[in-house]
Structure 1
Amino acid sequence: MSLTLRPFTPADAPAVAALHSAVDWPVRSAESWRWLAANPARAPDFPIGWLAEDRGRAAFVGEFPQRFWIGEQPVLGVTGYSIIVPPELRGAAGRLIRKIMNRDDAALIYTLNANALSAPLYHRHGLGPYPEASNALKLAWMIDPVVAAGAGIVRRLWPDLSGRSGPERLMNRRLGRNSQLRLPPRVTPLEGFGDDWTLFWSRLKSEDRVLADRSAETMRWRLGEPDGTLSPVLLTYRRDGAITGFLWGQMAKMSRLEPPVLDIIDLVTLKTEPDAASALAGALIANAHRLGGAKVRLQVVSPDMLKALGPLARRARREGGWGHGHARFAPEHAGRLRGGWSPTPFDGDYSFCLRPVPAS
């Protein structure tokens, strides 16, 4: 096998779409590829993905840059996404991963969304478990246990579907109805990324921590992903009128045979607001059934987040079980990054790689 590696171009979209379809991953539209290319953190010559080719066959990995802040110092972070290697190109995964790993301009290179099959690859390429104490943990709050259990029944009744063809199962009429949320004191819907958001972001950066960029420009771009079907749930926690915490929830459906799940994409609060994380997550959980979710899920969990959620975390079901989080830090930044980075799903690829609920 003689592999050729080159950057992804818009002309490659049909080939990558075929790879996604083969594994029942969401197929990205042309508009969504243009959206990824418009990433405010992306330099003009920064590839949004790589192809490995051999005699008309292709494998793919996406490459996603983010601006991270170590206090007031910006640094580059890079994560891979949507690595797909067909059986006939077995062995290409390592070449694709090394293409990203060989960057010398990134303070951190990482993935927060490795599956059970790909997880061992990252250790071989110099990435270590991160967060070290919780990189194999996901939390889930069951909203409708009967429907969640129904997914297993459907898989047994229609084993030939394998979740890749046929009608969508376990849908419900509550999805997309924009029901009025019932929120506790201090929790309010986010009304936009204006001056109050800019103040919140400034206060976050002033704390001794490492944060993926959440500037108003970046947030407007991230929430403009064109392939989404249902509006996100954006909640703030406020004190004296000022934002002190933020949650982004997004409905997803992992396959045709799975029920809708309300994913927590981001949950970030000021360190001086210890009750905000549990209040925001609790508000989402309390409204999940009204919105059509069978469970609420948090797919990246740091030790700091476990502490912030308190009793709410202890009520959650532990999922995962393999190391989905892996990172490598540049030596000059390793100390600060290891001591200050508490990632959420926002830091990874979850917001734009989850399978959306079908529009119908």
Structure 2
Amino acid sequence: MNVKRIRGLEGIRGLLALAVAYQHTFGIMIGWQSGRSLITNAPFAVDVFFALSAFVLIKSYDEKFSRINIKEAINFFWARFLRLYPLHFFMLSIVVGIFYGMVNGIPSYFSNNIKRDLISNYLMTQSLVTSQSFSINLPSWSISLEFYLGSLTVLLAVFCRPLFYAVFVFFLFIAERHGFRVAGNNDPVFHGVSAGMLRLVLSMGIMVLVMDIVKRLPVKESVAETLCAAGVFAIAVSTICLPPPFHPVPIYLVSVLFAAIAIALMDKADFTDKVLGNPIFFTLGKLSYSIYLVHFPVSMFLVYLLHIDLSYDAGNWIVHFSILMTLLVSCLTYEFVEKPFILIGRKVRLFGRTTSS
């Protein structure tokens, strides 16, 4: 089944991908502690991505099953693989090529065990458990979690909601008892649970909870519009104004909750949907996955090409030039890498059905 695309959600996705690219590019080219980036908490954007994925996937497949079916689950994983892996593989190979072609190898500050990290990155397992592995393409840590843990979490929510909520409550307990850093992707929190794993399950869990509540409560359009606008405002404030050190667990959970409310009510909030779904933001949304994975290799290529050194100020212009190049390259990767596999994925039989294009 092909769920109607909500344009406002694409706008949110695109703007957040641009925010991640902006802060990362500033950090790489100007310095992470420069204080000149307008975006202070790009990591929160990733949690909204997790919530968006839960919403779209569960909306597509919820109530379309009669029992747990291994074949359907395998088809689901295969479709997710076709959506996520090709661009990840392509951009990871580009980053590796940049390192080996321009600086004769992966710098030690990106990896302290090159063989291990190359294998884990190509298998997308670098963030699956707490480890010392690094994402060679900086933002790809979340793709690792999205594919493995995110897919399992969605399947659990679709096939067995009570067990899903039991797992969600357990992760809430871990967060309350042990805490975690919002930006500490691979930090160990509880035995084999990393901060990144915790963030994914909490974000998806809050999203499912909000979806179940909204489904059972009639919401007037005016109320939906107000709540959706408040949720979008909370996303903006959390991403722009709340750096991770000032985003403790309770505030973080509230921020994710407001984001989930905005996502769940977007189809009922016509004005907000039109504003965020305008052609420019919608196009950014289509390019969002490419923007997310392309911006790091583009910025690293320019750093080595132009011999940018943090010991001197390269100027903000280089950041904006890098972002422009990211957008241009993203148009190409979307058209020639993402799109062909999206079309293949639509032909995969999902939950016993063939998706329509």
TM-score, with normalisation over the residues of structure 1? 0.23
TM-score, with normalisation over the residues of structure 2? 0.23
Larger proportion of strand: 1
Larger proportion of helix: 2
